[in-house]
Amino acid sequence: MKSNLHMYVMAAPLLTAFLVNIFGRNNRKVIAPLVLGALGLSSLLAITVLKRTLMLGDLSYTAGAWTPPWGIELLVDPLSALMLLLISAVSFIATFAALPCVKRDLKDRQHIFFTLYLILITGLMGLVLTADAFNLYVMLEITSITTYGLIAMGRGRASLSSFNYIIMGSVAASFYLLGVGYLYLLTGTLNMADIARYLPALQGSAALATALAFILIGLWIKMAFFPLHGWLPRAYTDAPDGAGVLIAPLMTKVTIYLMVRLMLTFQSPTFSLISMDVRTLVIWAAAIGIVCASSLALAQRNLKQMLTYIIIAEVGYMVGGAWLANEQGMTGTLLHIVNDALMTLCLFLAAIAIAYRTGSLHFDHLKGLYQRMPWTMASFTVGAFAMIGVPPTCGFYSKWYLLLGGIEAGQWEFVVALIFSSLVNAVLFFRIIELAYFGSLQDSEHHAHASVQQHEAPWWILSPLALTAVLLIVVGLSTGPLVNNVIRLMVPVGF
């Protein structure tokens, strides 16, 4: 009797989405308990799934009790269990801040927002669990379509940014579908493990190279890998606050996880997705991407837009680390997926808190924030240190692994790009910290020097923010057990 636990993790948000749509239409008060209850249940079950997987081993689950490869297979191994826990935990924490922001911004469309929100979370969970190439496409599109809808609900030019994202995202998904079509023509099956069995025999064929190229480019557009990143800054900046805090930490990371999953599944002693000539190209592209994105982040005057360019640079880290083709690099990438989700969550929550109180995220409005919002800026500082890579926050450890991997593989451009990006991050964040700490107050004529009003962010944004900041340090300190017990199990021997 196979355990259904991971499916319950997925089914809870999905069922609640439709219940929210039916019942939230007339009675607004029922939305918050439903959403938080479902996501809380998912998080608790995800912890159980992770513990059970580490104890009992991988679980291959086929919906409908058909045997793979005829049935659609779902694979629960340590990495997917970890990602499942990450998605449910991050969405649970983000929902605390999203609920009031949505109540303020979208007063009479809350039930629609949360329907899309919960279906997005279901799609993300399905993405990390699936082991079937076509099912991946369906889940990818579920995630993308709900994201298009969520981003279009924002103010200002959000509809145009969402339309831009629709066009680029559909191109990406169509490329992925085309690649899967080529693979189906070549191997006759859609199950990823089954495809991996046929691949060594096909090595060197042009059709296989085309298939893998289409799949990779589709995924790269979705994860905003430089130079295919054009849609991301405007889409994430114009998204409504409640949506941005969920989409920004998770979407690109899950897509990077997909790329890593494909690389690991197709890896065998005789075939590797990473051939030497493509590898150098990709790492050069990653390095150039990191440098360009960090430089573009320096030019921004708006906090949220600066954070989106930092996201693009982080994607460059992870893609470069995965393609380094050694154990340190892959460990660094997988660890960085977890860490970057938490760091981005922390920084976006801080941005929401600042926007809530000061109304704008332009740098000129950040002056003197340390006196007015001490707890918010303290958590922001922890997040900033994590982005820069200061121990004991988690950001340091993943960057350390990536640096070691780069040095070991001899890819010095990647190492230089990493160090450059850390320095640029330091400049970026210390600039903000300096503005917020030493900048004069805006209405200083009205206040005496001593009595500075503390106008802290409300507790429902502050508590998830503080919790995430604490988590950054806790995850950083527990990197050892995390890497040894979970991540090292996933990287194949002799990689």
Partner 1 sequence: MRISVQETRDRIPQRDIILESTVRLMVPFIQLYGLYVIVHGHYSPGGGFQGGVVLGASVILFALAFGLPASKHYLSEGGDILLANAGALIYTGIATLCALLGGMFLDYSALAKILPIDPISWRSHGIFLVEVGVGMGVMAIMVSIYWDMASAGRLDEGL
Partner 2 sequence: METILDHVIAKYNYWIYVVLMMIGFYAMIGKRNLVKKLLGMNIFQTAIILFFISSGAKKGGSIPILDKYAALQGQVDVNQVVNPLPHVLMLTAIVVGVSVTGVALAVMLRIYRKYGTLEEDEILHKIENE
**219/461 with CB nearer partner 2:** 219
Distance from C-alpha of 336 to C-alpha of 322, rounded to nearest angstrom:
11
Residue with tokens 């900046």, as numbered in its chain: 237
Whether residue 246 contacts residue 98, with contact meaning beta carbons closer than 8 Å, is answered with: yes
Closest distance between partner 2 and the C-beta of residue 387, in Å? 30
Q: Which of partner 1, partner 2, none interacts with 390 (beta carbon under 5 to 8 A by kind)?
A: none
Which residue among 137, 220, 236, 380 contacts partner 2 (CB under 8 A)?
A: 137
Site for partner 2, residues 188 to 207, rule: CB under 8 A: 190
* Tokens matching residue 456: 């802290």
**161/339 with CB nearer partner 2:** 161
Closest distance between partner 1 and the C-beta of residue 22, in Å? 5
Q: Is 56 in the site for partner 2 (CB under 8 A)?
A: no
Q: Is 167 in the site for partner 2 (CB under 8 A)?
A: yes
Q: Is 138 in the site for partner 2 (CB under 8 A)?
A: yes
Site of interaction with partner 1 (CB under 8 A)? 1-2, 4, 7-8, 11, 14-15, 18-19, 21-22, 25, 61-65
* Tokens matching residue 262: 């494909």
Distance from C-alpha of 238 to C-alpha of 211, rounded to nearest angstrom:
34
Position 362, amino acid: H
Which residue among 22, 63, 185, 470 contacts partner 2 (CB under 8 A)?
A: 185
Provide the 8-state DSSP code for 75.
Answer: E
**How far are the Cα atoms of 90, 121, 405, 423 from residue 40, in angstroms, in the given order?**
11, 13, 37, 38
Q: How far is CA 471 from the centre of its chain?
A: 16
Site for partner 2, residues 115 to 134, rule: CB under 8 A: 134
Whether residue 310 contacts residue 297, with contact meaning beta carbons closer than 8 Å, is answered with: yes
User: Taking the CB of residue 2, how many other CB atoms lie within 10 A of it?
Assistant: 11
Distance from C-alpha of 308 to C-alpha of 192, rounded to nearest angstrom:
32
Instruction: Classify the C-alpha dihedral 108-112-118-124 as positive or negative.
Output: negative
Residue 405, CB-side half-sphere exposure with 13 Å CA sphere: 29
Residue 137, CB-side half-sphere exposure with 13 Å CA sphere: 20
Closest distance between partner 2 and the C-beta of residue 121, in Å? 18
Q: How far is CA 264 from the centre of its chain?
A: 19
**173/409 with CB nearer partner 2:** 173
- For residue 404, what are the contacts with CB-CB under 8 A and spacing of at least 6? 328, 332
Q: Considering only 178-186, 334-342, 354-362, 429-437, which stretch makes contact with partner 2 by CB under 8 A?
A: 178-186
Closest distance between partner 1 and the C-beta of residue 102, in Å? 19
Residue with tokens 């500082």, as numbered in its chain: 381
Provide the 8-state DSSP code for 191.
Answer: B
Which residue among 177, 259, 355, 403 contacts partner 2 (CB under 8 A)?
A: 177
Distance from C-alpha of 365 to C-alpha of 368, rounded to nearest angstrom:
9
Radius of gyration of the chain (CA): 22
Closest distance between partner 2 and the C-beta of residue 316, in Å? 24
Position 340, amino acid: D
Closest distance between partner 2 and the C-beta of residue 302, in Å? 15
Q: Is 216 in the site for partner 2 (CB under 8 A)?
A: no
Closest distance between partner 1 and the C-beta of residue 75, in Å? 14
Closest distance between partner 1 and the C-beta of residue 369, in Å? 40
Position 57, amino acid: G
Q: Which of partner 1, partner 2, none interacts with 141 (beta carbon under 5 to 8 A by kind)?
A: partner 2
**137/309 with CB nearer partner 2:** 137
Q: Which of partner 2, partner 1, none interacts with 138 (beta carbon under 5 to 8 A by kind)?
A: partner 2
Q: Which of partner 2, partner 1, none interacts with 176 (beta carbon under 5 to 8 A by kind)?
A: none
- For residue 476, what are the contacts with CB-CB under 8 A and spacing of at least 6? 339, 386, 391, 392, 393, 394, 395, 396, 397
Q: Is 152 in the site for partner 2 (CB under 8 A)?
A: yes
Distance from C-alpha of 367 to C-alpha of 383, rounded to nearest angstrom:
19
Q: Is 163 in the site for partner 2 (CB under 8 A)?
A: yes
Closest distance between partner 2 and the C-beta of residue 403, in Å? 38
Q: Which of partner 1, partner 2, none interacts with 430 (beta carbon under 5 to 8 A by kind)?
A: none
**40/230 with CB nearer partner 1:** 40
Size of interface with partner 2, in residues (CB under 8 A): 25
Q: Using CA atoms in the order 430, 433, 435, 440, what is the torsion angle rounded to 10 degrees?
A: -150
**83/150 with CB nearer partner 2:** 150
Q: Which of partner 2, partner 1, none interacts with 54 (beta carbon under 5 to 8 A by kind)?
A: none
Q: Which of partner 1, partner 2, none interacts with 159 (beta carbon under 5 to 8 A by kind)?
A: partner 2
Whether residue 315 contacts residue 225, with contact meaning beta carbons closer than 8 Å, is answered with: yes
**9/322 with CB nearer partner 1:** 9
Q: How far is CA 90 from the centre of its chain?
A: 10
Closest distance between partner 2 and the C-beta of residue 142, in Å? 8
Q: Is 181 in the site for partner 2 (CB under 8 A)?
A: yes
User: Taking the CB of residue 426, how many other CB atoms lie within 10 A of it?
Assistant: 16
Whether residue 96 contacts residue 41, with contact meaning beta carbons closer than 8 Å, is answered with: no
Residues near partner 2 (CB under 8 A): 134, 137-138, 141, 145, 148-149, 152, 157, 159-160, 162-163, 166-167, 170-171, 173-174, 177-178, 181, 184-185, 190
